[in-house]
């Protein structure tokens, strides 16, 4: 119900939605020298650091795939997720002057951030192809399933982001909590390490973190050696759906008072 009503409102305000995405794209790399290259530099730099410290020094395995490819594959959805929830989480506060002066469906702003993030994601994904070519690594044909897999990451990022955004309107503590949450979340997600390192009985628990199933699916579709545990995947998808609907519900419920409190 809530999803339907929201979709209808977004459709009515599609022009504004388009301009919000457009503004985000325009503004993001204004007055920066490297511009859109930053979309690649971030995950790539992280991958290099991970490879040196976690693979070379700490000997973390990578399921028979070159570690840079192994970690970069996971860093793509992870970077999208972490930067999107940070942006959405702060979006109601940064757009305060809009919210208190004009009516539009408040969800336009988080949705615009989530859509715009896909652009960075796509740019960074191109480098994965380059990386595979460098290591003479043959990807699985299932890689073509990635566009489908972006749906759960997008839904999850929106859901989590909207909860933080709504809370941030009332409690500015969220601004300090967010970076901390992002930092911790990385460690409970199999980005640096493979799930095979975790004892089998704990894997379902790990899947309660919806990113686990999603990232495993990203790996399994790109890297022929990797497989996804279907039970883990289902648990993660259920959690994603739950967080998305819950986030949407909470955001919409509180949105009517945003202009009064923010």
Partner 1 sequence: MPSAVVARKLSKEYRLGELNRNALVGEVVASAFKRLLGKDRSNYERIWALKNVDLELEQGHVLGIIGRNGAGKSTLLKVLSRITFPTSGSMAVRGRVASLLEVGTGFHDELTGRENIYLNGSILGMKRREIRKKLDSIVAFADVAQFLDTPVKRYSSGMRLRLGFAVAAHLEPDVLLVDEVLAVGDAGFQKKCLGAMDNLHTGGRTVMFVSHNLSAVENLCPRAIWIDRGCVRMDGPSNEVIQAYLATFSDATQGGADLTQVEPRKGSGHMRCTAIELLDSNGHPTPVVRSGMELTFRLHYEVFQLVREPHFGIEIYSNLGTMITSVNTWTSGFNTEELRPGKGYIDVNVGALNLNPDRYYLSIWLASVGPRYYDHLDFCTTITVEQADVHKSGRAMSKAFGLMYLPCQWSHNGYHQQDASELSQLDQERSAIVQPF
Is 104 an interacting residue with respect to partner 1 (CB under 8 A)?
Answer: yes
Q: Work out which of 2, 8, 11, 18 binds partner 1, going by CB under 8 A.
A: 18
CB of residue 259 to partner 1, shortest distance in Å: 5
Toward partner 1, which CB reaches closer, 138 or 257? 257
C-beta separation of 203 from 229 below 8 A: yes
How distant, in Å, are the alpha carbons of 65, 156, 175, 245, 259 from that of 88? Answer: 34, 12, 11, 16, 17
CB of residue 97 to partner 1, shortest distance in Å: 7
Is 260 an interacting residue with respect to partner 1 (CB under 8 A)?
Answer: yes
Is 136 an interacting residue with respect to partner 1 (CB under 8 A)?
Answer: no
Q: Work out which of 2, 5, 7, 26 binds partner 1, going by CB under 8 A.
A: 26
Toward partner 1, which CB reaches closer, 99 or 192? 99
Is 8 an interacting residue with respect to partner 1 (CB under 8 A)?
Answer: no
- Cβ-based neighbours of 83, under 8 Å, separated by 6 or more: 42, 117, 120
CB of residue 107 to partner 1, shortest distance in Å: 14
Q: Work out which of 119, 140, 145, 170 binds partner 1, going by CB under 8 A.
A: 170
Is 180 an interacting residue with respect to partner 1 (CB under 8 A)?
Answer: no
| Structural tokens at position 131 | 């990386």
Is 97 an interacting residue with respect to partner 1 (CB under 8 A)?
Answer: yes
- Cβ-based neighbours of 218, under 8 Å, separated by 6 or more: 73, 74, 76, 77, 146, 149
In Å, the largest CA–CA distance within the chain is: 57
The Cα–Cα gap between 213 and 177 comes to 25
Quote the Cα angle for 15-20-21, to 5°.
100
How distant, in Å, are the alpha carbons of 55, 69, 122, 228, 231 from that of 128? Answer: 18, 7, 10, 20, 28
Q: Work out which of 1, 4, 30, 199 binds partner 1, going by CB under 8 A.
A: 30
Is 5 an interacting residue with respect to partner 1 (CB under 8 A)?
Answer: no
Where does this chain bind partner 1 (CB under 8 A)?
Answer: 15-16, 18-19, 22-23, 26-27, 30-31, 97-104, 170-173, 256-257, 259-261
């Amino acid at each position: 119900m809530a999803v339907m009503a929201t979709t209808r409102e977004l459709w009515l305000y599609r022009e504004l939605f388009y301009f919000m995405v457009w503004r985000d794209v325009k503004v993001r790399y204004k007055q920066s020298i490297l511009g859109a290259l930053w979309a690649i530099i971030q995950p790539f730099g992280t991958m290099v650091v991970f490879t040196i410290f976690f693979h070379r020094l700490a000997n973390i395995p990578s399921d028979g795939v070159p570690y840079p490819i192994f970690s970069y594959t996971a860093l793509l959805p992870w970077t999208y997720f972490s930067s999107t929830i940070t942006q959405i989480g702060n979006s109601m506060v940064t757009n305060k002057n809009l919210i208190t002066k004009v009516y539009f469906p408040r969800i336009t702003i988080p949705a615009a951030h989530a859509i715009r993030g896909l652009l960075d994601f796509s740019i960074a994904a191109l480098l994965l192809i380059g990386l595979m070519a460098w290591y003479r690594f043959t990807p699985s044909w299932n890689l073509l399933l990635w566009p489908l897999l972006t749906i759960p990451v997008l839904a999850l990022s929106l859901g989590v982001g909207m909860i933080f955004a709504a809370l941030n309107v009332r409690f500015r503590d969220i601004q300090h909590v967010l970076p901390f949450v992002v930092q911790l979340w990385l460690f409970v997600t199999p980005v640096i390490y493979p799930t095979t390192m975790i004892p089998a009985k704990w894997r379902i628990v790990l899947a309660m973190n919806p990113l686990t199933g999603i990232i495993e699916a990203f790996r399994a579709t790109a890297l022929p050696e990797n497989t996804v545990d279907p039970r883990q995947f289902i648990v993660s998808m259920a959690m994603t759906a739950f967080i998305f609907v819950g986030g949407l519900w909470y955001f919409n419920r509180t949105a009517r008072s945003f202009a009064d409190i923010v």
